[in-house]
Structure 1
Amino acid sequence: MPISINRNILRLLRVGSNSTLAITKPRHRFSAAAFVSARHMSDDSHKMDSTSFAKNLFRGQVEVEHVFPFPNVLSEEQTETLEALVDPVEKFFTEVNDATKNDEQCVIPDKIMNALGEMGAFGLQVPQEFNGLGLNNTQYARLVEIVGAHDLGIGIALGAHQSIGFKGILLFGTPEQKQKYLPTLATGEKIAAFCLTEPSSGSDAGSIRSKAVLSPDGKHYILNANKIWISNGGVADLFTVFAQVPVKDKNGIEQNQVTAFIVERAFTGVTSGPPEKKMGINCSNTAEVFFDDVKVPVENVISGPGAGFKVAMNILNNGRFGMAAALSGTMRAAIKQAIEHASQREQFGQKIHEYGMIQEKLARMAMLHYVTESMAYMVSANMDRGSKDFQIEAAISKVFGSEAAWNVVDEAIQICGGMGFMRSTGLERVLRDLRIFRIFEGTNDILRLFVALTGIQYAGASLKEVQTALRHPANNLGLLFEAGAKKITRIVGISQQSLAEHVHPELLTAASLTRIAAEDFGVSVESLLIRYGKNIIGEQFLLHRLGNAAIDIYAMIVVLSRATRALNENHPSAKYEERMCNVWCSEASDRVAAYLTSVRSSQQTGNFRRMAQISSELIKAGELVHGHPLGF
């Protein structure tokens, strides 16, 4: 190999000093925060052979294994089981449950709770040996979609119970823990809650102050904790509680580490406050829970002392797809109401659906639903196929779904006009209920940072691997040539990646836009790593836009995949889905380009700096700084 070629490769691959890639071990304000620290990822989150589409996106690569073809994981038997459940659940929510009454009375009646228990709604994914239905993630998604279409308050009660409340036992519990607790939890005889948030810690879970100390005889922990805003907090019989515990490391140094405990209300010292008065999800009980010198048996520790962050983050990551599924149900119901009104309401001599502004609203509402639903079932299917590396995709589905649902229901109210504002339509209740979804189980702001930083960590590790190889180029020519080839194609504008073989011919333009967006995204990530190094962690103006771009690109790929399946299989709605896919990808590509331009723009950097200064002045003044235009 001529030395000149080696030098050219080295020149193309220079990425800066070692500090540039220190992102793989972050140290920052949120280093203890649950949603942005590498410590809290699953064990597989940093493998360099990840097949996650979202992770590889941060390297500018289009990894198709988990996105093409659009997954269909249900066996014939599983499909039959699900079909047998759908009609009874739908009938229950349309004929038995009264969402408006539940909201007004701020409680789920006992007869409704008992009926849900009889249907198996409290143990959808609990194995049948423990009295559950034993459903997989895709089956679960379909049923919670029905709940989301009818009563989000009940949806929260059910989700707080099984999606997070006892999920730690399901995922990490010992055989003894599962045998002891799951049977009564699955039937709804006992209700569960998830206790993480405290007055001084929300998104920054590492700042929790709850303490648990091992008793002198080593048989139990003495737990003291004050947990706030706990869904099911006032009615739960069992709590998954997180507290700091002194743990010795391999060097014998003792440090506080978060540990997860199974705590029964029957234990002495467990009390709860009155139900909180909330904006929405009123029938779902939310309360403060107190643990005062509670003796928790050592056998009630989940996954061992010090494993609390791993437990908490896996619980939350594992459950987020269900939120997207539920909200796709919410959107479907709201869109149906909007369509009914638009097709009947006449103004200025025409039905309002004939006006362009209403047509645009309906079309955009449908596209937002299509994307959310596609995300939910792609993530659930990949989980069912055994993927362990879906954290970014699950977070994206939660962020996108919660914001899409808010937009859709808001526009449904707008289309319905004054009627939409009236309680009788039910839309105002749904809008109130929806607001919490952008806050709990990871605020959307923090999750955008999670998406950006998790992806950057993966990209940074890849660059670090190349950088290490540069120290001994003769021994790493294969790796260097691979990386060099990728960089050369970026420079000369020739792509080696193509989605043509995976998408239907009618979607080739949309596929090309997606590929270009992905490659531009990877270039931008690499540029930011070179520019900021480990300090990128503090650049939240940039990370926010990077997160937005990643969300849009993932949305593009999922609709490409789903529309391709519809076209290939000649679904009745194939041409309709093709139109939605093409519109979505066209507009999303423009948004991605704008986001990536902003992260590279010196003008935007100046604007970010000025906004930070404006915020600082507001905080200093304690109110708006600008005076009233009248001067008094």
Structure 2
Amino acid sequence: MFSTPRVCVQSRTVLKNVVFRRCLFTTSPKLKTVQNTEKVAVAPSEDYSFVMNIFRGQIEARQVFPFPNVLTEEQRDTLQMLIDPVNKFFEEVNDPTKNDTEEKLDEKTLNGLWELGAFALQVPQDLGGLGLTNTQYARLVEIVGAHDLGVGITLGAHQSIGFKGILLFGTPEQKAKYLPRVSSKEFAAFCLTEPSSGSDAGSIKTRAELSPDGKHYILNGSKIWISNGGLAEIMTVFAQTPLKDPKTGNTVDKVSAFIVERSFGGVTNGPPEKKMGIKCSNTAEVYYDNVKVPVENLLGGLGNGFKVAMNILNNGRFGMAAALAGTMRACTKKAVDFATQRKQFGQRIDSFGAIQEKIARMAMLQYVTESMAYMISGNMDSGSQHYHLEAAISKCFASEAAWYVCDEAIQIMGGMGYMKETGLERVMRDLRIFRIFEGTNDILRLFVALTGLILEEASKRVVRKVGLSAPPQMDHLVHKDLTNSAKLVAQSIDSFGQTVEMVLIKYGKSILNEQFILNRLANATFDIYSSVVTISRASQSLKEGLSSAPHEKLLAETWTSEATDRVALNLNTISSGRNLDNFSKMSTISKNISDAEGIVQINPLKC
């Protein structure tokens, strides 16, 4: 019989004295390509983000080569000990169909997850958790994503964002008080979104005013679409607070973060929302009516709420890629099981080229997503602070790739895929939210492009302008069998850097308003970064002689080849007069429809 308490006790015993490996490196501004060869301290001003540096037309290789291998032998043993019971739990205890139908998790499932330690994977052991690294966390989240995304949201809303602020910004006293509680059946929630502020976090209306005696902040306002909102006892809440500007002496409003307990009083919530998918996760409005929040529950300092929120979201995004890599693995298996058994016209349908292309593309998307998840988690475990753009890309890429893979799995299975009993219609409904929450993909694309452009404009592209550097090279970083793919990526990076320079010269600061162009720059970065992580992983597999290495080589070569074509298309679109004219026309079409409050043209029958 499956015993969750025993597994939990064993896991916590083995996880004692976990040592995080932190490898930090320096760079030389004169080198176009920098290799991962030394372990020395990082200068705070240097940015080792691969994506950030391609906006300069440079290859900063240290966070992408070699593919991260950050787990100690003890950490691997611990992870392996956890994988089997977690798999068994989702196969034998959790019922995703029941969860979806009843729109809640039953007590048996919730208790089993708590006993497994699934709600406290990264809480330090001495505070009641399992103390896992980001890489270990990613592997377990991948299993959850393969089985039930609704459960994944319940877990993620609790720890990936709910109490993550306490882990990242909490004082020793805050951690000692709250982390044992969130590890012991007290749910947490992240409360940011409001009716009038979705992606614009700075426009929130919830307010917190210091009480006359200076002992409390009085919190008033409401939040919507809060995952775990009806369950949470402990919440990270964001509110406007008055703050005196030290330079001008004027009082201005700035967002601050607070740790709020339901037990403070004045905290209520609405009924669970009726949703398209992830139905078993609790989503509700939360209301704050004159809630007295002790001053010691200010999180991250007065006026630093935006920084706290963005760091929480950036820190947790790799987990979404890990979960969705698991979802894609499960969808692909269902499709392949069907395709290898189904016969049409006297042949198994997996022998048809149309089906083979679908399966191959599904496999490539899963491989890229999985590679991104473990690349970023490995970077984080190595001590990197420069992964925010990569994490944003992984969230966008994973959520769109998973939707495509699930859709193609349904298509391969035909009418059977459309049936509820197959389970894919539930997965598709669950997947749709991932392109929206924790930063919509549209906003994150702009974030990636604008962050790169703004910082690049500040640097004035010194290296390229004074002619101190040659075109980028990657050949020496990859396995010899992948040098051709590496050359393609290096050429894309060089072209990308030149396009960025052209765009900045042409538009200057007005580029902020050119979202047609920004989206295409972002898409090019997605293809370049996805190619690099794929080549890196396949190179490592080839060097280690893994049995799957020849297959991984095919995945990397094919993906990089097609991605290179997409990069060229996006960059050419940006500089093409005809395409720029199309952007202008699309803007006008959109305005016409908005003015008409719907489709403009009349029905062809004119009635």
Q: TM-score, normalised by structure 2?
A: 0.92
1:23-62 matches, within 5 Å, as 49-62=46-59
Is the counterpart of residue 366 in structure 1 residue 348 in structure 2? Answer: no
1:279 aligns with 2:261: no
- Deviation at 1:80? 0.4
Question: Quick one: distance in 1 between partners of 2:83 and 2:468?
Answer: 48
The code of the aligned residue for 1:234 comes to G
- State yes or no: 1:592 paired with 2:567: yes
Identify the residue that residue 396 of structure 1 maps to in structure 2: 393
Name the structure 2 match of 1:214.
Answer: 210
Indicate whether 1:178 and 2:175 are aligned: yes
Q: Give SS of 2:498's match.
A: helix
Q: Which residue of 1 aligns with 2:25?
A: none
Deviation string for 1:45-71 (max 9, x for gaps)? 996521110000110101110000111
Task: Answer yes or no: is the 8 Å Cα contact 1:144–1:155 preserved in 2.
Answer: yes
1:88-103 equivalence runs, <5 A: 88-103=85-100
What is the aligned partner in structure 1 of residue 530 from structure 2?
A: 555
Counterpart CA distance in 1 for 2:324 and 2:43 is 30
One-letter amino acid of the structure 1 residue matched with residue 339 of structure 2: A
2:192 to 180, 191, 196: 196
Aligned residues of 1:48 and 1:458 also touching (Cα < 8 A): no
Q: Which amino acid aligns with 1:608?
A: F
Partner of 1:626: 601
Does 2:459 correspond to 1:484?
Answer: no
| CA root-mean-square deviation | 1.3
Aligned AA (2:241):
V
Contact 1:46–1:458, Cα closer than 8 Å, also in 2: no
Mapping of residues 425-436 of structure 1, within 5 Å: 425-436=422-433
Q: Deviations over 1:181-207 (max 9, x none)?
A: 1102013x1000000000000001111
Superposed, 1:116-515 pairs within 5 Å as: 116-187=113-184, 189-251=185-247, 252-463=249-460, 466=462, 483-486=465-468, 489=470, 495=471, 497-515=472-490
1:517 to 466, 469, 492: 492
For 2:558, the aligned partner's letter is: V
Contact 1:58/1:521 (<8 A) preserved:
yes
Structure 2 gap ranges (5+): 1-41
Percent identity between the two aligned chains: 62
Q: Name the structure 1 match of 2:11.
A: none
SS of the counterpart of 1:241?
A: strand
Matching of residue 564 in structure 1 with residue 539 in structure 2: yes
Q: Give the whole-Å Cα distance in 2 for the aligned partners of 1:326 and 1:460.
A: 36
Q: Larger relative contact order (C-alpha < 8 A, sep ≥ 6)?
A: 1
What residue identity is the alignment partner of 2:565?
D
Kindly provide the amino acid, as one letter, of the partner of residue 227 in structure 1.
K
Is the aligned partner of 1:67 residue 2:67?
no
* SS across alignment from 1:501: helix
Q: Secondary structure at the match of 2:477?
A: coil
Following TM superposition, by how much is the alpha carbon of 1:627 offset from its aligned partner in structure 2, in angstroms? 1.1
Question: What letter is aligned with 1:64?
Answer: A
Moved over 4 A (4+): 45-48
Return the offset for 1:326.
0.3
Cα distance in structure 1, aligned partners of 2:467 and 2:588: 43
In terms of mean alpha carbon deviation, does 131-140 or 522-531 score higher? 522-531
SS at match of 1:212: strand
The answer for the alignment partner of 1:536 in structure 2 is 511
Q: Is the contact made by 1:102 and 1:282 (CA closer than 8 Å) also made in structure 2?
A: yes
Matches within 5 A, 1:79-94: 79-94=76-91
- For 2:130, give the aligned amino acid: L
For the residue of structure 2 that corresponds to 1:280, the secondary structure is coil
Question: CA 1:460 to 1:46, structure 2 compared with 1: closer, same or farther past 3 Å?
Answer: farther
Alpha-carbon distance between aligned partners in 1 of 2:578 and 2:44, rounded to the nearest angstrom: 37
* Conserved 8 A contact 1:321-1:397: yes
- State whether structure 2 residue 603 is matched by structure 1 residue 616: no
Structure 1 gaps of 5+ residues are: 1-44, 467-478, 490-494
Letter in 2 for 1:485: G
Q: Which amino acid aligns with 1:535?
A: S
Match of 2:103 among 106, 110, 115: 106
Distance 2:202 2:486 in 1: 41
Mapped partners of 1:63, 1:427: distance in 2: 40
Q: Please say which of residues 586-595 and 251-260 is displaced more in the overlay.
A: 251-260
SS at match of 2:455: helix
Moved more, 326-335 or 247-256: 247-256
